[in-house]
Amino acid sequence: MIIDLQKFITEERLYWTELEKVLNRLERKPDEKLKLGTLERFHYLYQRASADLAKISTFSAEPNTRQYLESLVGRAFGEIHETREKPHRLRPLHWFFNTFPQTFRKHLRAFTISLIALLVGAAFGGFTVIVDSSTKQILLPFSHLQGDPSDRVKTEESADTDRLEGAKSYFSSYLMTHNTKVAVFTLALGMTWGIGTLIMLFYNGVILGAVAVDYVMAGESNFLLGWLLPHGAIEIPAILLAGQAGIVLASALIGWGKPIALRVRLRKISNDLVTLICGVALMLVWAGIIEAFFSQYHEPVLPYTFKIVFGCVELLILAMFLGRAGRQKASQNAQSKE
């Protein structure tokens, strides 16, 4: 109960201003660690402002003061009751070499599901083309893939001009942005309980399987590997990782066998989703550069063996990176926590 409102505001305003100053400081410098004395004072100020808000809540005359106090208590509540780590200073190298591969390994099951969806799609696409090769007109959305593979190989190998001359950067940036959009879309479709994500993976698998079988049946395996491996060794895993992120999101949404609230489940995976999709974006930047500047050049300009070896090396490095990088750091962290 407040008898004298003016007196109440005059007396308490000093504490509110002090609390506001601490909050401004904390919001400006999220890295700063407060000393015990300052922390105790901060907590006291928060409790005092909370009590003031409770007192003034029923008081009709001061809607502005009530709103001001609500906002103050709201901000302080966020600072005091937040248990998640504050954002660190940007450490891109540490993030890339430790956090990203660690996050990938943390959700290996989701990656396996993603891989299976793609492989099932590839098997379906391949099988369909084996049964009836005319289905590639429906399955393959790109006109240059709908014709006879041997004709394309002949055309590519006999080309005496560089058809990407003066447009490589444009083509590369188009590939980067388009593929990143597809990857983000694959992640976002996790909100359909993962059904959309699985459909995207399956569909990409169908295209891949249909193309692969079509070229193998035409006896153009070398061309196929030399053309697809240099960029596909990174691009296809990138789409798989985007699918992994979508499935992680879907599994948090569904929450089978997890006796925790939806918001807690989603909160737990939010950093992992961002890490995975940022990693995917980086992978797709690399894949875009390779596809525009390297993959589109065939024999006699670039020997297929060289391109295939290059692709295999990339795949190996990627597998080692995702499988091994940051392991030491993770075990050190686990030991220090124990």
Partner 1 sequence: MTDRINTLIIKTPEGVEFSLRLAGPITRFLAWSIDLATIMALMSIINVVFAVLGVLSRDLAAAANIIGFFIISIGYGMLTEWFWQGQTVGKKLLRLRVLDAQGLRLQFSQVVIRNLLRFVDSLPALYLVGGLISLFNQRAQRLGDVAANTIVTWNPRITEPDLNQLLQGKYNSFHDYPHLEARLRQLVTPLEAQVAVQSIMRRDTLDPQARIALFREIRAYLETLVTFPQEATDGISDERYVRNVVEAVLRPNASSEISSKPPQTF
| Binding interface with partner 1 (CB under 8 A) | 1, 3, 5-6, 27, 47, 50-51, 53-54, 57-61, 63-64, 66-67, 70, 73-74, 77-79, 81-82, 84, 86-87, 166-170, 172-174, 176-177, 180-181, 184-185, 187-192, 196, 249, 253, 263, 266-267, 270-271, 273-274, 277
- The CA–CA distances, whole Å, from 264 to 7, 117, 237 equal 43, 28, 29
Neighbour-count burial of 192, counting CB atoms closer than 10 A to its CB (0-12 exposed, 13-18 middle, 19+ buried): middle
Q: What is the distance between the alpha carbons of residues 125 and 118, in angstroms, rounded to a whole number?
A: 10
Strands (E) located in 241-321:
none
153 versus 189: smaller Cβ distance to partner 1: 189
Q: What is the distance between the alpha carbons of residues 233 and 153, in angstroms, rounded to a whole number?
A: 21
72 versus 153: smaller Cβ distance to partner 1: 72
Closest separation between CB of residue 135 and partner 1, Å?
27
Closest separation between CB of residue 53 and partner 1, Å?
5
6 versus 134: smaller Cβ distance to partner 1: 6
Tokens of 260: 């925790």
82 versus 338: smaller Cβ distance to partner 1: 82
Closest separation between CB of residue 222 and partner 1, Å?
30
81 versus 144: smaller Cβ distance to partner 1: 81
187 versus 229: smaller Cβ distance to partner 1: 187
Kindly state the DSSP code that residue 302 receives in the 8-state scheme: S
Tokens of 33: 């660690």
Tokens of 330: 């993770």
Closest separation between CB of residue 198 and partner 1, Å?
15
Closest separation between CB of residue 258 and partner 1, Å?
16
**Ordered DSSP codes for 210-232:** HHHHHHHHTT-HHHHHHHHHHHH
69 versus 208: smaller Cβ distance to partner 1: 69
Residues whose CB falls within 8 Å of the CB of residue 77, separated by 6 or more in sequence, listed in order: 46
Closest separation between CB of residue 192 and partner 1, Å?
8
Kindly state the DSSP code that residue 31 receives in the 8-state scheme: T
Closest separation between CB of residue 60 and partner 1, Å?
4
Residues 326, 332, 336: CA angle, nearest 5 degrees = 145
